[in-house]
Structure 1
Amino acid sequence: MKALLPGSPHDADKPVVLGEAPEPAPAEDELVVSVEAYSVNRGETFQLDGQLDRTWPGWRPGKDVAGTVVRPAADGSGPAVGTRVVAHPPAFGWAERVAVASASVAQLPDSVDAVTAAALPLAGITALRLLRAAGPVAGRRILITGASGGVGHYVTELAASSGAAVTAVAATPERGARLVELGAAELVTSVADAEGPYDVVLESVGGDSLPAALSRLAPGGLLVWFGQASRTPVTLDFFDFFKGPNQARIAHFDYTSSDTSYAFDLAALIRLVEAGRLHPEIGTVRDWSRTAEVIADLRARKVRGNAVLTLS
């Protein structure tokens, strides 16, 4: 079958190449999905350029897919053949077909198309689990950095609709305009312009952003560190932290660790979309032959929200 294979991490023009890959060999609890659309996440671009581990030999990118089940799970779990689904495999999704555990698959209603669904998995699941980590948000002030990506759009809409006052940090007013439409109470272009204090900070940039955001916490506030998109190391001075907000907390966050399955959270996201309570921000939709071009645009921060590719 055709699939996108990792290119050379030293050739920025060819991060992936279209080639041939073996057909999926599903485990007992895995079904096979014929892929109609997939999205590209920033973490995958880091894996392709060698900044993040590729996890195992033979790795191919692809964590967010939507399509149709063409082979059911041998153990009887999951949707039947012919069912339209959204899925979150650990990898290998940028291909004509992919094997996915039934615990990572949710059925799609007719009202949700494959492009919209493909934008949901990693960013949407991360947003849901971030807000669970933050606790009840009604009436609380929340600061989110790096908010113009997929996660930021979902967090902003979900938190604002739950009664939070969200301050979103985006690089430019243009990149952040949609966040205001989704309910952000305030848009700033730098953490330095965010006045605070905030009950919760959701930090994804790293570098100087994290200590600056930490200093804007209210007493007893919580900072959830869920990314380092700048790829710049963070330096925290213990004594500065100690002199900062009383009883401030920093929480480690790993979206893969949860009491709920991916299937459960994907189903929740689909219900929200179907009910008109969640609106995926899709910055570009292109044919999968242009995946390398999309990766370059993501690296240059030219895409607002999610980037989705479709298979012809």
Structure 2
Amino acid sequence: MKRLIPTGDPARPVEFTEDTTPVPAPDEALIRVEAFAPNRGETFLLERPKPGLIPGKDIAGLVVQAAADGSGPQAGTRVVGHPPKGGWAEYAAVPTHSLAELPDAVSSVVAAALPLAGITALRLLRTAGGVAGRRVLLTGASGGVGHYLTELAAGAGAEVTVVTATEPRAERLLALGAAAAVHDVAKAEGPFDVVLESTGGAGLPAALSHLTPGGTLIWFGQASRTPATLDFFDFFSGPEGATIRHFHYAGAPYGRDLATLVRLVRDGRLHPEIDRTEDWAKAAETLVDLRERRIRGKAVLTTGVRS
């Protein structure tokens, strides 16, 4: 079978190779991959790939071999999955606890855009607690996670202000339910009960200063790739009783969250922002554009297989 592997060349970060079809563990199903979605964080790993790196976490396709232990979907079932690795290939072995079935109304392209970004958004909102009636500030809102967070938080009753670089992106986020959009976090009109911060650098202390007393900043990324510096005295004199929380989405099982995302898409309550859909022959170019922020929301690559 064909698989994409790292090259170590930032200008063309992946290439095709021939590989053997994975042999699933007893609790894994073998999936014929129809579509997959790279994430920007994965593009950073490709710049200096570690030996043995086999990328690919967000896939959709068809179960061709059910798990030997009897768990999960049967052969012939359309699914979305979040494997720990190896999804940029014609076939992938995925733990059944990280799969969800797809209805006919949800295509493989749309489904492939859901896993990492969608699960992150769901779990961030759970970490934030109830957001109905609360003011939420979201930085780095133009990416895949940001679009999901905006629509989910607004749908849950939050008043969401988003920080995004351009006017077209702001317009799209407003259409998804954001109450306000700014291009500089310093111009956000707070205070906010919750700040969801994903840029790092100078953006983090600026966002922190907009918290209401007793508010919470949840730090879930560093898209600027610039370390943040916090001054204790600035923080001490800022919002009284404020909390900074670290967040990372990981922690299987993922199947229940995937099923929730699929249901929301099916019911028209969640709209994945897919800026680009390409054949996986254009994977290298797409990954570079994703890394350099020339893609809004998600990019999805298709293998040419259709169920």
Q: Secondary structure at the match of 2:147?
A: helix
Report the counterpart of residue 15 of structure 1 in structure 2: 13
Once the two structures are superposed, what CA deviation does each residue of 1:59-110 show, in whole Å capped at 9, x if it has no partner? 2111000000011111110100000000000111000000000000000001
Give the whole-Å Cα distance in 1 for the aligned partners of 2:230 and 2:138: 19
Report the counterpart of residue 3 of structure 2 in structure 1: 3
1:142 aligns with 2:140: no
The offset of 1:190, in angstroms, is 1.0
The offset of 1:47, in angstroms, is 0.7
1:298 aligns with 2:296: no
Q: Secondary structure at the match of 1:272?
A: helix
The offset of 1:58, in angstroms, is 2.0
Maintained 8 Å contact 2:44/2:291: no
Q: What letter is aligned with 2:177? A: G
Q: What letter is aligned with 1:115? A: V
The offset of 1:26, in angstroms, is 1.3
Report the counterpart of residue 230 of structure 2 in structure 1: 236
Give the whole-Å Cα distance in 1 for the aligned partners of 2:61 and 2:275: 20
Give the whole-Å Cα distance in 2 for the aligned partners of 1:280 and 1:192: 28
Q: What letter is aligned with 2:215? A: G
Q: What letter is aligned with 2:18? A: E
For structure 2, the 5+ residue unaligned runs are none
Give the whole-Å Cα distance in 1 for the aligned partners of 2:167 and 2:127: 28
Report the counterpart of residue 310 of structure 1 in structure 2: 302
Maintained 8 Å contact 2:36/2:112: yes
The offset of 1:4, in angstroms, is 0.3
1:282 to 268, 274, 299: 274
Instruction: Report how many aligned residue pairs link the two structures.
Output: 304
Give the whole-Å Cα distance in 1 for the aligned partners of 2:189 and 2:204: 15
Report the counterpart of residue 124 of structure 1 in structure 2: 118
Report the counterpart of residue 30 of structure 1 in structure 2: 28
Q: What letter is aligned with 1:6? A: P
Structure 1 runs (4+) deviating above 2 angstroms are none
Which structure 2 residues correspond to residues 24-103 of structure 1 after superposition, within 5 A? 24-50=22-48, 54=50, 57-103=51-97
For structure 1, the 5+ residue unaligned runs are none
The offset of 1:147, in angstroms, is 0.3
Q: Secondary structure at the match of 2:33?
A: strand
Give the whole-Å Cα distance in 2 for the aligned partners of 1:310 and 1:72: 23
Give the whole-Å Cα distance in 2 for the aligned partners of 1:99 and 1:64: 12
RMSD: 1.1
The offset of 1:113, in angstroms, is 0.4
Q: What letter is aligned with 2:4? A: L
Maintained 8 Å contact 2:35/2:60: yes
Once the two structures are superposed, what CA deviation does each residue of 1:218-240 show, in whole Å capped at 9, x if it has no partner? 00100000000111011111111
TM-score normalised according to structure 1 size = 0.95
Q: What letter is aligned with 1:142? A: V
Give the whole-Å Cα distance in 1 for the aligned partners of 2:205 and 2:72: 44
Q: Secondary structure at the match of 2:206?
A: helix
The offset of 1:296, in angstroms, is 1.3
TM-score normalised according to structure 2 size = 0.97
